Amino acid sequence: DSTVDTDPVPERVTTADGRAVEVAANVGSPTELAPAGDRGADGVGLFRTEFLFLDREEPPDEDEQYEAITAALRAFPDDRVVVRTPDIGGDKQVPYLDLPTESNPFLGQRGIRLSLGPHSALFETHLRALLRAGATDEGGRLAVMLPMVARVEEVVAARERIETVAEMLDDEGVDYARPELGAMVETPAATYVADALADRLDFLSLGTNDLTQYVMAADRENDAVAELQDPLHPAVLRAIDRTTTAAHEGDAWVGMCGEMAGDPGLTELLVGLGLDELSMSAVTVPAVKRAVREIDGDAAATLARDAVACETREAVAALLE
Closest contact distance (angstroms) between CB of 281 and Mg ion is: 14
Q: Is 207 in the site for ligand PEP (CB under 6 A)?
A: yes
Q: Nearer Cβ to Mg ion, position 179 or 207?
A: 207
Residue (40 or 258) nearer to ligand PEP, CB? 258
Residues 37-56: x/- map of binding to ligand PEP (CB under 6 A)? ---------x-x--------
Size of the site for ligand PEP (CB under 6 A): 10
Nearer to ligand PEP, 21 or 257 (CB): 257
CA atoms of 79 and 156, how far apart (whole Å): 27
Q: State the nearest-atom distance from the C-beta of 111 to ligand PEP, in Å.
A: 8
Q: Taking CB under 5 A as the criterion, which residues in 122-161 touch Mg ion?
A: none
Query: Quick one: what does residue 82 bind among ligand PEP, Mg ion, none, with the CB cut-off 5 to 8 Å set by partner type?
Result: none
Angle between helix 234-249 and 297-309 (nearest 10):
130
> What track of x and - describes contact with ligand PEP for positions 247 through 266 (by CB under 6 A)?
----------xx--------
Is residue 49 within 8 Å of residue 126, measured between CB atoms?
yes
Q: What is the 3-state secondary structure (H, E, C) of the chain?
A: CHHHHCCCCCCCEECCCCCEEEEEEEECCHHHHHHHHHCCCCCEEEEEHHHHCCCCCCCCCHHHHHHHHHHHHHHCCCCEEEEECCCCECCECCHHHCCCCCCCHHHCCCCHHHHHCCCHHHHHHHHHHHHHHHCCCCCCEEEEEECCCCCHHHHHHHHHHHHHHHHHHHHHCCCCCCCEEEEEECCHHHHHCHHHHHHHCCEEEECHHHHHHHHHCCCCCCHHHCCCCCCCCHHHHHHHHHHHHHHHHCCCEEEECCHHHHCHHHHHHHHHCCCCEEEEEHHHHHHHHHHHHHCCHHHHHHHHHHHHHCCCHHHHHHHHC
* List 151, 209, 274, 290, residue binding ligand PEP (CB under 6 A): 209
Residues 205-234 that bind Mg ion (CB under 5 A): 207, 210
**Residue 263 CB, nearest distance to Mg ion (Å)?**
17
Among residue numbers 180 through 199, which ones bind Mg ion (CB under 5 A)? Answer: 186
Contact range with ligand PEP by CB under 6 A, out of 127-135, 201-209, 294-302, 312-320: 201-209
Residue 87 interacts with ligand PEP (CB under 6 A)?
A: yes
Query: Which of ligand PEP, Mg ion, none lies near 208, with the C-beta cut-off 5 to 8 A by kind?
Result: ligand PEP
Q: Using the rule CB under 6 A, which residue among 186, 241, 268, 277 binds ligand PEP?
A: 186
Nearer to ligand PEP, 186 or 268 (CB): 186
Instruction: Confirm or reject binding of residue 42 to Mg ion (CB under 5 A).
Output: no
Q: How far is the CB of 77 from Mg ion (least distance, A)?
A: 28
Which sign, positive or negative, has the C-alpha torsion 104, 262, 43, 271?
negative
Where along the sequence are the contacts to ligand PEP (CB under 6 A)?
A: 46, 48, 87, 186, 207-210, 257-258
